[in-house]
Structure 1
Amino acid sequence: MRKLRFIFVVFILTLMIPQMATTSSIADEPQRVDTSVPTARLPRVYDMDLGYEIYEMVDEDRYIEYIREFTENGERHIYKYADIPGSNNELSRYWLVDKMTEVSNERLEIEILGNYLSIVGRLPGYLPGEHPVFVISAHYDTMPLCPGANDNGAGIAAVLELLGIMSQYEWPLDIYFIAFNVAEAQYDILTPPPGRLRGSEEVSIAFDDRAIEILAHFDVGAILRVADHAPNDERVYLAYYDEGGLVPYTQSQYWAELGKTMSNWYGYDFVQTIPARFFIEYYRADIRKFLERGYYNEILAFETGLADDDAYQTANDVWHRYDYSYRIGREVTALIGASMAYSMSKAYGEATRLTFQGVTYSGRSVRYFVPVTMATRLNITARWFGASATFLVYAPSGAEIGSSIQATTHPWNSTQIFSIPVTQKGLYRIEVWDTGEDSLGIELEIDYEVDANLNGVSDQ
């Protein structure tokens, strides 16, 4: 199993080590990075949480337009690489390379990889040396006769939209934007070679051969069809690999739950996380080939409405269908971008501190999620106005571990509500209920320790 190095460890090694003497006998000693001077006059990200800004920058109209343009030439099906020259698949690759170059303002380093011609783009980070990377991917081929607006124009649009946004900053880590080819050579995974997932197989082998370590890999599949009658927080899946609980929490589940957290903090709280063992589409996706190479930080975004999706992988998978939710497409794109930005925002030595503002009404509540990666203490302070309030804290198991009834308002000064020791890793839920007759305004602050690199020591 690969040993992960989280972003905070990266900063320890590269940003905060004192300058070494020039007489040192160690040839590859890490050097201090001047984070105050960005290259190419782009904002350099350090000690600034851009999660909300990145989330807000994702534009639904632009996302739709990417899908419309990408799918207007029809199917992009390929069975073997000899079929590619002169095909719609080839034209789509040309279009994608041009578009990726354009939206990144020519910052993306593009490689056409393997016999199946997957597009691998690298947005370089500013940290020197070798460090873990983020990956966002989708496949660009289709089933026969299928225009592929949902499968998988929706994923390609997410890649393009985030590429255009993330390219406006200098990030500490490399971010890879990948368009796999020949995912759909044959639908049945048991079909003899060449079979399915050929492009992602070549890319995963290349990553392994080059010793590229992945911090988190978000693969976006068909996401536009919401299940009929789905509750608000089950409109899209983020599936993660846990091998029956044997894989450490931070290797995959944490990233899925961080995505859910971003949707909760900044968006519409649409996400349901689900273990891969309960969701077969996880193993039919391109990330399967990365799992086979020992990469376990793999997250799949996929629609909850597959059983209701009559257009899936058919000629009816066109961009203007009435039952496609582009609001969901935008949300998935935004939460992935926010997750990456949030993870690359921390300054070494600082506590993890979250601040929320919200409004709720009599008899109703607001809720916030906090992903916990180590034994720590949840310190929760708040100020509220307009009504009395009840504060509740729930563990990942669903058990209530904290309750505080506040009969009066505290509008001016922050009041400590909880200081709760916790040991279970996972997603904690904080609820604030309006127990009065008027609307309740709330400002909540949560601080806690994080150990996302699994070394048993707080990252702060």
Structure 2
Amino acid sequence: MNTVRRCLGILALLLWWGAGLRGQPLPADTARLRRHIVALTSMPEPRNYLHEASLNQAADYIRAELAAAGARPTVQPYVAQGRTYHNILGHFGPETGPRLIVGAHYDVCGEQPGADDNGSGVAALLELARLLGQQQALPYRIDLVAYTLEEPPFFRTPQMGSFVHAKSLHDAGVPVRGMVALETLGYYDDRKHTQRYPLGLLKWVYGTRGNYVTVAQKFGNGRFGRQFARRYQAAAVLPVKRFKAPAWLPGIDFSDHLNYWHFGYPAVLLTDTAFYRNQHYHEPTDTLNRLDMRRLGLAVNALLAVVSGR
């Protein structure tokens, strides 16, 4: 029996390796995802707006990882409350033409490690960068952006890093295909009654098990939102729920995508639903050991399939 298992394991490894030789992207590496979250949550001080050294350390780490993946990294500095903060950008694909933006914020709320919020989103962004770097060609430009100052007291203000980035695109007249915000993607729970909703009736539609990824968007989000949600669900191995609601519904705009809506760009939120599922949201207990690296990796694999046009 042990010999049979060993042979099956070797066969699976060869098939996985062979896919890479044939030009197909290798699946997301859960060890790398874990390493990114460890790097972000192991700093001397939490990476919030009061601890510039930690935010800068996180920014330097992200920039180095984007460069290692083959991106063309740039830094977008700006001033908030008399201090300088930085968005970190990495570019893949052709220089010209409409862009797809994929972003995740790297700051945290208060004095907490932020493994899921939003270490998981940044880890997904960096692993997506590595996988994009393996592509022979991309059909359009993809900009990966790590934002700062998404959390309070800057949320819903022009000092959000995503507001600064979206405004810069708008002011420069840059055409944007759409935007995908990666927000809290690592927390899952298969038990019943672990998933909550802004409206109680939604549990009869989406279920009570917190074991899925959500593609959330507002009504009137355009063709990009419809296509992304449909293609992501078709590509994903893990369960995916497509959620569309008025922008005023609590939670529907609770991340960086709201600033792209502000400037007229279509945008979606890819999330594990954050506080509607994860009781450790914005708490010191939001730690790595509570996250599911396998399902985080599956979420990245589906994202790669959609954004690379495969």
Name the TM-score class by shorter chain: 0.7 to 0.9
| Corresponding pairs, count | 265
Cα offsets for 1:213-262 (capped at 9, x unmatched): 2223211101222354266896111112324xxx44x1312211211111
Counterparts of 1:325 and 1:299, CA distance in 2:
23
CA 1:261–1:233: 2 relative to 1, 3 Å: farther
Q: Aligned to 2:288, what secondary structure does the other structure show? A: coil
Q: C-alpha distance in 1, partners of 2:86/2:68?
A: 20
Which one of the candidate residues 236, 242, 247 is aligned to 1:273? Answer: 242
What's 1:253 paired with? 226
- SS of corresponding position for 2:231: helix
- Mapped pair 1:236 → 2:202: no
Q: Distance in 1 between matches of 2:258 and 2:38?
A: 28
Counterpart of 1:64 (choices 8, 15, 34) is: 34
Cα deviations by residue, 1:239-296 (Å, 9 ceiling, x for unpaired) = 12324xxx44x13122112111111xxx23x100101428532312111111000002
SS at match of 1:131: coil
| Matched position secondary structure for 1:282 | coil
For structure 2, the 5+ residue unaligned runs are 1-22, 80-84, 196-206
User: Is 1:150 paired with 2:150?
Assistant: no
Go from structure 1 to structure 2 and tell me whether the alpha carbon gap of 1:168 and 1:328 turns closer, same or farther (over 3 Å shift).
same
1:75 lines up with 2:39 in the alignment: no
Q: Say yes or no: does 1:108 pair with 2:72.
A: yes
Q: Is the 1:218–1:336 Cα contact (8 Å) retained in structure 2? A: no
Residue 90 of structure 2 is matched in structure 1 by 121
Is contact 1:219-1:300 (8 Å) kept?
Answer: yes
Secondary structure of residue in 2 paired with 1:300: strand
- 1:226, 1:305 within 8 Å by CA — same for their partners in 2? no
Partner residue, 1:136: 102
Displacement of 1:326 in angstroms is: 2.0
Matches within 5 A, 1:51-450: 53-54=24-25, 56-73=26-43, 74-78=45-49, 84=52, 87-104=53-70, 107-115=71-79, 116-125=85-94, 130-169=96-135, 170-186=137-153, 189=156, 195=157, 198-226=160-188, 228-229=191-192, 235-243=212-220, 247-248=221-222, 250-263=223-236, 267-268=237-238, 270-277=239-246, 280-296=250-266, 298-304=267-273, 306-321=275-290, 324-342=291-309
C-alpha spacing 1:94/1:288, structure 2 compared with 1 (3 Å): same
Residues 305 and 173 from structure 1, CA distance in 2 versus in 1: closer, same or farther, beyond 3 angstroms? closer
How many Å apart are 1:178 and its aligned residue? 0.4
Greater Cα shift, 195-204 or 169-178: 195-204
The one-letter code of the counterpart of 2:308 is: A
For 2:274 and 2:251, how far apart are their aligned partners in 1? Answer: 12
Q: CA deviation at 1:301?
A: 1.0
Taking the aligned partners of 2:210 and 2:54, their CA distance within structure 1 comes to: 38
Matched residues in 1 for 2:299 and 2:28: separation?
Answer: 10
Whichever of the two has the greater Rg, that structure is 1
Structure 2 contact 178–265 (Cα < 8 Å) conserved: no
The normalised TM-score by structure 2 is 0.77
What's the CA shift for 1:305?
A: 6.1
Could you tell me how far apart the structure 2 residues matched to 1:158 and 1:174 are? 19
Asked if 2 retains the 8 angstrom alpha-carbon contact of 1:139 and 1:155, the reply is yes
Query: Distance in 2 between the 1:271 and 1:211 partners?
Result: 34
TM-score, normalised by the number of residues in structure 1: 0.53
Secondary structure, aligned partner of 2:246:
helix
2:259 and 2:97 mapped to 1: Cα distance? 22
Cα distance in 2 for residues equivalent to 1:95 and 1:290? 26
> Residues 140-184 of structure 1: CA distance to partner in whole angstroms, max 9, x if unpaired?
100111111100000100110010111122313111010000001
- Separation (CA, whole Å) in 2 of partners of 1:196 and 1:222: 22
Q: Percent of aligned positions with the same letter in both sequences?
A: 18
**How far apart, in 2, do the equivalents of 1:60 and 1:236 lie?**
17
Query: Over residues 374-429 of structure 1, what are the superposed CA-to-partner deviations in whole Å (9 max), with x where a residue is unaligned?
Result: xxxxxxxxxxxxxxxxxxxxxxxxxxxxxxxxxxxxxxxxxxxxxxxxxxxxxxxx
- Distance in 1 (CA, whole Å) between partners of 2:245 and 2:124 is 22
Shift of 1:61: 2.0
For CA contacts below 8 A with separation 6 or more, give which structure has more relative contact order: 2
Distance across 1 between alignment mates of 2:142 and 2:159: 22
Equivalent pair of 2:104/2:147 in contact (CA under 8 Å)? yes
Q: CA deviation at 1:332?
A: 1.7
How far apart, CA to CA, are the structure 1 residues paired with 2:188 and 2:303? 19
What secondary structure sits across from 2:49 in the alignment? coil
Superposition RMSD on alpha carbons, in Å?
2.5
Moved more, 140-149 or 168-177: 168-177
CA distance in 1 between counterparts of 2:295 and 2:174 reads 31
Structure 1 unmatched ranges of 5 or more: 1-51, 190-194, 346-460
User: Equivalent residue of 2:242, what SS?
Assistant: strand
1:41 corresponds in structure 2 to: none
